[in-house]
Structure 1
Amino acid sequence: MTTWITICDTCKGEDWDAATHSRPHGEDMADLVESHAKGRGVKTRRVSCLMGCSHGCNVAIQAEGKLAYTLGRFTPDADSAAAIVDYAELHAESANGQVPFRQWPQGVKGHFVTRHPPLPKTEG
């Protein structure tokens, strides 16, 4: 089962200003996460808006049949990107998407915004 890191490429931090930034912080974060994820056990994709604007930069960690998480309040830097990818790999290795707190990379602690249960396999 593939764990995906979905990166909001339209996120803008509180300091974003069109006069000083040529693109959204989310694009910078996406570039960094994609770079850190190359050759690792997870996949990445970009979306335009995860609707967590007050929590930017945002990512979602998801896999079929597993708990899914939205993380936010990141600055687009190499340490944050590395922690996101490291956490996503732990998610991929887990049976149900739940990673014990003691295993969380330091860089994701305090960044969890939501947790979603897996969708049911059948309707009804």
Structure 2
Amino acid sequence: MTTWITICDGCKRSDWDARGANQTDGDVLAQAIETCATKTPVNTRRVSCTMGCERACNVIIQGIDDNGLSKIGYSLGSFDGTAEDAQAITDFATLHATSPTGQVPFRTWPVGVKGHFVSRHLPLPAPIEAEKA
């Protein structure tokens, strides 16, 4: 099974200009997630935009199972870009990686991801199902 955290490194929180930041909040979060993920079975990648600008610090968690079929995926946002955020995101992605379907029971969610879910992405149909459609 493979799970990926896709991180928007272009995200800027709404107070970015007022803070005079010289590094995007998404880049800060991406660096922290990459550090956390080195000790896990989770892969990371960066993109410049996930089109969730109003929420800033967006990530997408998605993966495939041992048969090469997609699993349930999730979009999360409205993070501050802290090390704690990165750890919670990585911990959730690790639970996603060990789940055969990608579904993670609510009772096991890290506290730091609760309230940050934007959407759930249903798995793509299996190839044989797609042919019937």
Q: Which residue of 1 aligns with 2:67?
A: none
Q: Which amino acid aligns with 2:38?
A: K
**TM-score normalized with structure 2 length:** 0.90
Q: Which residue of 1 aligns with 2:22?
A: 22
Q: Runs of 4+ in structure 1 displaced over 2 angstroms? A: none
Q: Which amino acid aligns with 1:119?
A: L
Q: CA deviation at 1:49?
A: 0.3
**TM-score normalized with structure 1 length:** 0.96
Q: CA deviation at 1:121?
A: 2.1
Q: Which residue of 1 aligns with 2:120?
A: 115
SS at match of 1:115: strand
Percentage of pairs with the same residue: 56
Bigger-Rg structure (1/2): 2
SS at match of 2:61: strand
Q: CA deviation at 1:19?
A: 7.2
Q: Which residue of 1 aligns with 2:13?
A: 13
Tell me the distance in 2 between the aligned counterparts of 1:10 and 1:116. 22
List aligned pairs for 1:1-124, cutoff 5 A: 1-17=1-17, 20-64=20-64, 65-122=70-127, 123=130, 124=133
